[in-house]
């Protein structure tokens, strides 16, 4: 899995702080940029503490994500307040085997071999269909959820907080949890105030929506 933050709103925290300031100011929006950075930062910290997160919707972040499974992206696109552009299996011939191996399978030599043998058969049949003139959009029907794919994702900061709340949880599926934690590490570099307390709800809200009392992070 490769995850990289490739674009984001210029001065994401300043912009969010300006939006928050506007709601309690007589100043025009275009004049808010003249407010000292230290004062704007104080405003942002306060609104984040109060949970008034609508203002951070003005800041968005774009990620380049590669070598993840179709199983992961099926989960990812359920987060609807986002924009997605994904590698097409209709227009791209995936002639070379490229797939994700779950850790539970990788840790067993016997199971890993059986898994890889299965993938080899699948790709042989996929390439056979292409050779017989079957269009890639139909040949792809035999490909597994493990097939690697690439995707670009853009979310605003508020949607990202919700995404991290759900997907950084220890009960989230392992691959999307890994993705969420890597995305969180990326955005903290450019918006540390907004994402300072981001993460699973057990940490951010001291509440477990799964009510899993056996979880090591379950609020005490």
Distances (CA, A) of 105 to 112, 113, 147, 174, 190: 5, 9, 15, 13, 36
Answer positive or negative: Cα dihedral of 205, 210, 216, 218. positive
- Fold entry, domain 2-84+148-204: Gyrase A; domain 2 (3.30.1360)
> Given 70, 158, 167, 177, which residue is catalytic?
167
Question: For residues 196 and 203, which has the higher predicted lDDT (pLDDT)?
Answer: 196
Tens of pLDDT, residue by residue over 74-84, are 999 999 999 99
pLDDT-derived band at 63, boundaries 50, 70, 90:
very high
What is the DSSP secondary structure assignment for residue 99, as one 8-state letter? Answer: B
Locus of tokens 């070598």: 67
pLDDT at 180 over 90: yes
The H or E element spanning position 216 is none
Interatomic CA distance for residues 163 and 56, integer angstroms: 14
What pLDDT, on a 0 to 100 scale, did the predictor assign at position 29?
84
pLDDT averaged over every residue in the chain: 94
Q: Active-site residue 167, yes or no?
A: yes
What pLDDT, on a 0 to 100 scale, did the predictor assign at position 26?
83
Query: Domain spans of the chain?
Result: 2-84+148-204, 95-142
């Amino acid at each position: 899995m490769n995850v990289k933050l490739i674009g984001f709103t210029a001065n994401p925290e300043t912009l969010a702080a300006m939006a928050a300031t506007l709601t309690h100011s007589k100043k025009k929006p275009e004049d808010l940029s003249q407010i000292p950075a230290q004062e704007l930062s104080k405003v942002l910290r306060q609104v984040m503490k109060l949970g008034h997160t609508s203002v951070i919707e003005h800041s968005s972040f774009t990620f380049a994500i590669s070598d993840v499974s179709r199983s992961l992206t099926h989960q990812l696109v359920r987060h609807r307040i986002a924009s997605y552009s994904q590698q097409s299996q209709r227009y791209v011939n995936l002639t070379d085997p490229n797939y994700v191996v779950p850790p539970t399978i990788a840790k067993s030599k016997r199971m890993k071999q059986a898994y890889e043998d299965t993938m080899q058969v699948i790709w042989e049949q996929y390439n056979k269909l292409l050779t017989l003139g079957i269009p890639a959009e139909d040949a792809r029907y035999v490909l597994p959820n493990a097939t690697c794919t690439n995707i670009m994702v853009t979310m605003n900061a508020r949607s990202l907080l919700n995404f991290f709340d759900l997907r950084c949880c220890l009960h989230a599926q392992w691959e999307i949890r890994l993705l969420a934690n890597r995305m969180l590490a990326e955005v903290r570099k450019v918006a540390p105030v907004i994402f300072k307390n981001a993460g699973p709800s057990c940490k951010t809200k001291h509440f477990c929506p799964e009510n899993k009392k056996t979880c090591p992070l379950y609020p005490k």
